[in-house]
Every structure is written in structure tokens, then in C-alpha cells.
Amino acid sequence: MIKTAQDIIIAPVITEKSSGEMAEGKYTFKVAVNATKTEIKKAVEEIFEVKVTAVNVANYDGKLKRQRYQLGRTPSFKKAVVTIDTEGKEESYLGKGGKAVKGSKKYKTSIEDFGFGV
């Protein structure tokens, strides 16, 4: 089965802690349980057009809940904290004749539409 980027990234996680980490370039997402770090990195880069530098994941088990006489379990999920490149460095490479050519960045330094309209 082929996974698309929208299948891997389920929803943003908006909490007080994650809102504070956005200034440092760290964004938190709820992701598919069977997604790997490399798949998460590619999905975020594809959807938001940013450069991902690190991905940290955490698996959460469902909690045991009780409703009247029945016992049940909340669903388990996986959370990923994605660190993006916030530096505005220009890329330089050697062009024809050995001259250094500066190129502009082709990716964004922040995710503007994070968590709004979801």
C-alpha cells in the first residue's frame, strides 16, 4: 500500500508547550502509528515546503477508561516533534568557470498555516 503525505500526517497537536516550541522551529504532529521517521520527514517537507533537520517520535498507549459498567480503552497514537531549519542562509555552489554562485533558498523557514482551519 502506498502512503501519501496526508495519510502519514494526521493532525497538528496544539498545546501550551507546542505553541512555545514553535518559536524554536519545533512543530508537533499526530502521525500514523506505523509511520517511520524518514516517512514523517518526507511528508512534512512535501506538505509544508520546509527543510526538516530532526524528527523525534513518541508512542502513546490508550488509557483504560470506564463508562458506567463497561471498561474500554482510548485509542493509542503516535506523536512526532519535527524540527525545521529556521536559518536564512543562502546556498552557494560553483558555477561555470569556477565562480561561486549564490542561490536563494527554495524552502520556507516557518509553517504559517500550522493548526488553523483544521
- Which residues does residue 84 pair with via DSSP β-bridges, in sequence order? 52
pLDDT digits (tens, 9 = 90+) for 9-64: 999 999 999 999 998 999 999 999 999 999 999 999 999 989 999 999 999 999 99
Q: Which pLDDT does position 34 carry in this prediction?
A: 95
Q: Which CATH class is domain 5-103?
A: alpha beta
Tell me which residue of 1, 16, 10, 19 sits closest to 78, measured CA to CA.
Answer: 10
Q: How far is CA 94 from the centre of its chain?
A: 32
Grid coordinates belonging to 18: 507546542
SS3 8: helix
What average pLDDT does the segment 86-110 reach? Answer: 74
